[in-house]
Amino acid sequence: MVDLTVIILTKNEEQNLRKCVESFRGTAKRFVIVDSFSTDGTKELAAKLNEELEKIDASLDFYENPWKDYATQFNWGIQNTDISTTWTMRMDADEELLPELAKEIDEKLEQAPEDVGGIVLRRRVYFLGRWIKHGGRYPEKLLRIFRTGSATCEQKIMDEHLLLKEGRTVEFKYDLMDNNTKDLDWWTGKHNWYSNREVLDHQMTLENAKKVAEQQEDLLENGSSTKQAKRKRMIKNRGYYSLPKFFRSHLYFIYRYYIRLGFLDGKEGKIFHFLQAYWYRFLVDAKMYECEKFHRTMKEQGDLK
């Protein structure tokens, strides 16, 4: 068992939480659930999982905190849950470790050299039960494990990343998987919620363009995100948003589905790439247009209902 605490943020994740925790296969010493007042059976499930984990000398602790945004919630978890393990890990409730990754963490993490402060993991996304391998979606490389106290989540409304304050990063070989089992109605509702956050984030960026740009550049250079994350952010802010509204979502879908071979992901891929690369991006543009036409500012978003 590794001296590792896994932080998982939840809101109505009864359907996903067990498979997330069980995917560690006894590797992690402690799990910390930071819940934003779920109304399903998440809290009861957490108590049951803790009873099961105690049998193998592990634990799962359940905390509740009002939701503001992901970064605030995660940073609250780092600061207020008495983490004493050598390593800390960020996981989403709908994510799982592949067996090979659980074994790799068990064998390699505590053997990491002292100058290694963080571990970059590869994530694969499943949609309607199918692994989305194409369209530029795999592998997504994310800093997910860090020496306790050496990282924080950058304070952004969208596309927030862990930033390493000291040490270098190394990349592990095997994957974690995003495999949400909720239905398409929930998925589209979630992305409608995301679109409001995206518009608000863009409005705030425009309002404080120079200040925000300087702060983000400083964070990305002095902290340690992945090169992939830095590149994506630069392309999005300096490339994608410089293109005309509505046209850019059309262009992005063509790039993802045809140029990056998204069509090879079958019917599930066609649905995913259309909804995620075209419909969602078009919806963001439509809401931006509406706000500009009627001189509105997007309201701050609560948690996902």
How is the chain split into domains, by residue range?
2-178, 184-293
pLDDT tens digits, 255-275? 999 999 999 999 999 999 999
* 220-245 residues labelled b (16+ CB within 10 A) or e (exposed): beebbbbeebeebbeeebeeeeeeee
CA 91 to chain centre: 8
Higher pLDDT, 221 or 159: 159
Tens digits of per-residue pLDDT, 102-126?
999 999 999 999 999 999 999 999 9
User: Looking at residue 12, what is its pLDDT?
Assistant: 96
Q: Which architecture characterizes domain 2-178 according to CATH?
A: Alpha-Beta Complex (3.90)
User: pLDDT value at position 223?
Assistant: 52
pTM of the model: 0.89
Q: What is the pLDDT of residues 23-38, one digit of tens each?
A: 999 999 999 999 999 9
- How many angstroms separate the Cα of 152 from the Cα of each of 73, 169, 268? 11, 15, 35
- Does residue 162 carry a pLDDT above 50? yes
pLDDT at 221: 47
Residue 187's H or E segment, with its range, is helix 184-207
Q: Is-contact 42 31, C-beta < 8 A?
A: no
SS3 of residue 227 by DSSP: helix
Rounded Cα distance between 106 and 100, Å, is 10
For residues 300 and 212, give the distance between their C-alpha atoms in angstroms, rounded to a whole number: 18
